[in-house]
Amino acid sequence: MTVSPNPAVVGQSFTVTATVIPLGPGTPSGNVTISIPGATPASANPTLVGGVASASFTSSTPGALTITAAYAGDTNFTGSTGFNTVVIIQGTTTTSVVSTPDPSGLGQNVAITATVTAVAPATGTPTGTVTFVVTGSGGGTFTQPLNGSGQATINLNTLGVGSHAITAIYNGDTKFLPSTGSDTQTVNPGPAATTTTVTSAPDPSVFGQSVLFTATVTTNPPATGTPTGSVVFTIDGPGGTTSPAVTLVGGVATFSFSGLGASATAHNVTAVYTPDTPNFITSTGTDTQLVNKANTKTSVTSSPNPSTSAQSITYIAFVGSVPPGSGTPTGSVTISVTNDTTSAVVVGPTDVPLDINGFAVLPSGALPTGSYTVHASYPATVNANFNASTSSETHIVT
């Protein structure tokens, strides 16, 4: 019995050939059962052709595997068994490493990526970790796991000016041997990379409430200095806006705005820094701002009150926003009047439009002598920026 290739690497196909030798005239026929625990497949049953039978296998685990070839015999020949061993070894790998951007500026983020691939005849994607060794100021030793594509990446914005040697060492796994790749990264003196961060307060806010947006621009180490220039804020969503350019003071720019509409989805806030000197590099920061509906307060009055059974009555409702919300609610108010004795609705319900000042006026006729309750309801469905509210008042007819 022969095995080729032997040794074989993880994932490589190897062929087992069994030869049944007759101890007399004729040629054995039938099948040979070849069994290899730990291989794929674990067994095969090839047919003898001219006394020879072959089958192919693979293995995903390094080590020595025992091969058993059993011939059961035919009408002319008795059975026999043969043994052999195949050795499965770890596959070799190559490691390549690249850094971008190269060259970079002082303080600029540099992405260093190592890619580990199997060398034929090995197949599959290596797993495990890569150790990066970066020389020079701001470098160091960093270990990162490989992803499903056989890649590992680190990001550094600390590299000092000059040339940095990069070594990526793949540490191997149970199936693949270690390998090493190298690269160089050049960091030039020049514009300092920056980072822009954005905050908003209060968050969440309510409709009509003033929100203060703050952008802070800093240099990325090892660069130093306070960035100068301006920031433009852009807020999306209902009522969104774009600010004028706001000059940085001590690296900070602020912008206040109260026109954002209420929404179940947060507004996206983007701040773009534009330097005013060649010493700094532009950067962008993001944040979100949630704006809820403003609460409202509804009041209702009737005039004259008390009235006589011969007097017409005017019902007046007012809807206003409750601080910290602001603005005048729009839409309509539902006004109704019920008899306190019978609970019967004697006026309305009537939807009365609000005017530009938040008032709704409903003139009505006289009512019989008795006690009545006047209801005013501002529903939340009439305006996306304001919550509902209600009010009631007792009206007496003499």
* pLDDT tens-digit map of 161-213: 899 999 999 999 999 999 999 999 999 887 888 999 999 999 999 999 999 99
CATH topology for 194-292 is: Immunoglobulin-like (2.60.40)
pLDDT band at 310 (very low <50, low <70, confident <90, very high): very high
| Tens of pLDDT, residues 22-69 | 988 999 999 999 999 999 999 999 999 999 999 999 998 899 999 999
| Domain locations along the chain | 2-89, 93-188, 194-292, 296-397
Angle at 186 between CA 107 and CA 280, to 5 degrees: 30
Domains 2-89 and 194-292 share a fold: yes
Q: Does the structural domain 2-89 have CATH classification 2.40.160.20?
A: no
| Tens of pLDDT, residues 349-398 | 999 999 999 999 999 999 999 999 999 999 988 789 999 999 999 999 99
Which amino acid is located at 39 in the chain?
A: A
CATH topology for 296-397 is: Immunoglobulin-like (2.60.40)
What are the backbone dihedrals phi and psi of residue 4, each rounded to the nearest 5 degrees, phi first? -145, 130
| Tens of pLDDT, residues 202-260 | 999 999 999 999 999 999 887 888 999 999 999 999 999 999 999 999 999 999 999 99
Identify the pLDDT of residue 380.
81
Which CATH number is 93-188 given? 2.60.40.1930
